[in-house]
């Protein structure tokens, strides 16, 4: 079972590395890691379990945050109270996006960033990604609103980018009125 201490902190330079394309079929260890990430993210969003296992809530994780330089991510989205959808996408690419830009009003969070960071991170309101599922089948997934934000946040991790990079420290709420708050 993954623990909070398995997640690398923002100070760790590995987080700045680019993750590498994954080849199929996945081996047992890779499949096990995917399962563990899903379990970790799900538990972290269920308050009793988050407390029991001492987890900060998070909806997404890229393996680079565990020091594994593989190009995929996992998002566990609570679409209704206590109900979760899992998204696991390998070698993902952004293939289309809305013109509209949104930002998370309370600020984005990241399991690797253990502090409050205020400021606007502009994200597309809707995105379509293409990639592969765990069996190597080509898939196309759409996300809107917070799910779209999560996808873009995780895609950035695969290129060594953290959400904090996108906030201007001198003017964290720059251009606020150009975007829609969610």
Catalytic positions are: 154
Q: Which is nearer to Ni ion, 26 or 61 (CB)?
A: 61
CB 96 → Ni ion: shortest distance, Å?
23
Closest residue (Cβ) to Ni ion? Answer: 110
Chain positions 146 to 175 lying near Ni ion, rule: CB under 5 A, are none
Task: Please state the closest distance from residue 80 (CB atom) to Ni ion, in A.
Answer: 23
Q: Residue 37 or 110: which CB sits closer to Ni ion?
A: 110
Confirm if 158 and 169 have CB atoms less than 8 A apart: no
- Cis peptide preceding 14, ω within 30 of 0: no
Closer CB to Ni ion, 10 or 24, in the complex: 10
Choose the stretch contacting Ni ion; rule: CB under 5 A; options: 16-24, 26-34, 110-118, 169-177: 110-118
Stretch that binds Ni ion, among 20-28, 33-41, 83-91, 106-114 (CB under 5 A): 106-114
Q: How far is the CB of 94 from Ni ion (least distance, A)?
A: 17
Residue position matching structure tokens 């089948």: 137
* Spatial separation of the C-alpha atoms in residues 1 and 20, rounded to whole Å: 24
**Count of residues engaged in binding Ni ion, rule: CB under 5 A:** 1
Among 64, 110, 127, 150, binds Ni ion (CB under 5 A): 110
Closer residue to Ni ion, CB minimum distance, 26 or 62: 62
C-alpha dihedral over 158, 9, 115, 165, to 10 degrees? -40
59 near Ni ion, judged by CB under 5 A: no
SS3 74: strand
User: 136 - beta bridge partners?
Assistant: none
> Tokens 């873009």 — which residue?
152
Direct distance between the N- and C-terminal alpha carbons of the chain, in angstroms, rounded to an integer: 33
Work out how close the CB of 110 gets to Ni ion at its nearest, in angstroms, rounded to a whole number: 3
Surface-to-core class of residue 102, CB atoms within 10 Å of its CB (0-12 exposed, 13-18 middle, 19+ buried): buried
Residues that bind Ni ion (CB under 5 A): 110
């Amino acid at each position: 079972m993954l623990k909070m201490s398995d997640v690398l902190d923002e100070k760790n330079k590995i987080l700045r590395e680019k993750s590498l394309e994954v080849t199929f079929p996945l081996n047992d260890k890779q499949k096990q890691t995917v399962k563990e990430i899903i379990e970790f993210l799900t538990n972290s969003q269920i308050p009793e379990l988050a407390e029991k296992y001492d987890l900060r809530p998070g909806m997404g994780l890229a393996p680079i945050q565990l020091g594994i330089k593989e190009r995929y991510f996992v998002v566990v989205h609570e679409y209704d109270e206590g109900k979760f959808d899992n998204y696991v996408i390998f070698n993902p690419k952004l293939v289309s996006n809305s013109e509209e830009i949104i930002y998370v009003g309370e600020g984005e969070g990241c399991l690797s960033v253990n502090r409050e960071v205020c400021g606007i991170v502009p994200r597309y309101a809707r995105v379509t990604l293409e990639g592969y599922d765990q069996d190597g089948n080509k898939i196309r997934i759409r996300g809107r609103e917070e799910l779209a934000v999560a996808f873009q946040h995780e895609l950035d991790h695969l290129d060594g980018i953290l959400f904090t990079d996108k906030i201007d420290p001198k003017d964290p709420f720059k251009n606020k009125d150009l975007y829609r708050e969610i």
